[in-house]
């Protein structure tokens, strides 16, 4: 019994590797998606005249409360 060992099938080893790799690749994809979405949202927000931005800020602040989001446009 001391020398007994467990040998896993090759398909099982490959499955374990894939189960580890998929979340890592998905995280990179999520970061790209978030960056693209943020770029789109900020560019649309900064195209709004400054008077309109105040109204948008109030809506966003109430939507994400108790968290906050702050965007500073280059024109400000």
pTM of the model: 0.56
Q: What pLDDT score was predicted for residue 10?
A: 81
Residue 67 has pLDDT above 60, yes or no: yes
CA distance 16 to 4: 23
Residue 23 domain boundaries = 10-64
8-55 pLDDT, tens digit each:
778 778 888 888 887 777 666 777 788 888 899 899 989 999 888 888
For the chain, how many structural domains are there in total? 1
Residue 1 has pLDDT above 80, yes or no: no
Residue that wins the pLDDT comparison between 70 and 6:
70
Residue 60 lies in a domain: yes
Residue 15 lies in a domain: yes
Residue 29 lies in a domain: yes
Residue 47 lies in a domain: yes
């Amino acid at each position: 019994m001391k020398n007994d060992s467990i040998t896993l099938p090759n398909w099982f080893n490959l499955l374990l590797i894939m189960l580890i790799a998929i979340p890592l690749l998905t995280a990179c994809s999520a970061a790209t998606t978030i960056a693209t979405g943020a770029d789109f949202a900020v560019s649309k927000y900064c195209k709004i005249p400054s008077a309109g931005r105040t109204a948008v800020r109030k809506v966003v602040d109430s939507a994400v409360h108790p968290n906050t989001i702050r965007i500073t446009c280059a024109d400000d």
